[in-house]
Amino acid sequence: MKSSKLSRRKFLSISAAGAGTLLLGKELLATSEIPAAGVDPLKMISLGKTGIKTTLLGLGTGYNGFNRSSNITRAGVAENVIRSAYEKGIRFFDCADAYGTHPYTRSALKDFPRESYVIGTKIWTQRGGIPEPDRPDAATVVDRFRKELDTDFIDLVQIHFMTSPTWTDEQKKYMDDLETLKAKKIIKAHGVSVHSLDALKLAAASPWVDVVHVRINPFGESMDSRDPAEVTPVIKKIHDAGKGVIGMKLIGNGKFRDDSEKINASIKFTMGLGTVDLIIIGFEKPEQIDDYMSRMKNTII
């Protein structure tokens, strides 16, 4: 087990953000040392005011996802991992056009009632990211998504990977189209996945946004700021506005995937905020799902 060290400055900044649950040294939440009482990964949560209810723990299908592929598609295990997640009780499946996981999600879940699980996916609107250069309107793209997923409706569709401080102006056509699709009940909710602090702040302020993907962990790794104390107040603002909050990058985009102490600390920190509705992890093997579910159950907030 690797050790995890935080500077005094970073620890104090995390505590100042209302997350003084992070412990140091030997008390850094080694799962073998905590009594079996904590967070239920399969408890049903409400995703903001969207009306969507799903499990606290969701499966992210896009770890290292780009150009319609991800680690689980490249390894040939996508269908098995997705189906295993459902069989273990997970009910939220996070997809995106850039991940190429729609067909695998369809195949993995085809034997289960559509109403028993929630699908979130994302539209790529920028250059690169997907093979073709064209960027059709949202109605055309979502229609393709529904065919790829073999579903009449999609629970959540987001605009993917926003970094601009003016993305609500730049993406207005997509936003309007998604609003129309929601009115037609083709989608249940819309929102954004952000990758900058400015974009995150704009998402907090936008009345159009139903759900936000936020990057969060106590170490500032692969986040919108290296200082979590700058990010957590924005997440609170999003949550307090009634928007759904989906936490991603808990494991620093995989950078501390082999550091048990950091994984435990990240789960405890994120759950302790009280402002994150749902967390997604990019599982690559069924046994990883069991491991994280156990960690959550042994995390006392």
CA distance 253 to 248: 8
Does residue 9 lie in a domain region? no
Tens digit of pLDDT for each residue in 140-198? 999 999 999 999 999 999 999 999 999 999 999 999 999 999 999 999 999 999 999 99
Tens digit of pLDDT for each residue in 100-141? 999 999 999 999 999 999 999 999 999 999 999 999 999 999
**Residues 6 or more apart in contact with residue 95 via CB below 8 angstroms:** 61, 62, 101, 102, 105, 119, 120, 121, 122, 149
Has residue 91 got a pLDDT over 90?
Answer: yes
Which pLDDT does position 27 carry in this prediction? 35
Does residue 47 lie in a domain region? yes
Does residue 11 lie in a domain region? no
Do 215 and 254 contact (CB within 8 A), yes or no? Answer: no
Does residue 91 lie in a domain region? yes
Helix (H, G, I), strand (E, B) or coil at 289: helix
Which pLDDT does position 301 carry in this prediction? 87
Which has the higher per-residue pLDDT, 51 or 18? 51
Q: Name the domain count of the chain.
A: 1
Tens digit of pLDDT for each residue in 250-279? 999 999 999 999 999 999 999 999 999 999
Element (H, E) at 107: helix 102-109
Does residue 4 lie in a domain region? no
Query: What CATH number does the domain containing 216 carry?
Result: 3.20.20.100
Has residue 2 got a pLDDT over 50?
Answer: no
Does residue 164 lie in a domain region? yes
Does residue 6 lie in a domain region? no
Tens digit of pLDDT for each residue in 12-48? 344 334 333 333 233 333 444 444 469 999 999 999 9
In the block, which residue shows the tokens 């936003």? 175
Does residue 17 lie in a domain region? no
Which pLDDT does position 128 carry in this prediction? 96
Nearest to 268 by CA among 257, 279, 258: 279
| Domain limits for position 129 | 37-297
Has residue 205 got a pLDDT over 50?
Answer: yes
Mean pLDDT of all residues in the chain? 90
Picking from 6-10, 37-41, 224-228, which range would have the lowest pLDDT averaged per residue? 6-10
Report which residue type is found at 284.
E
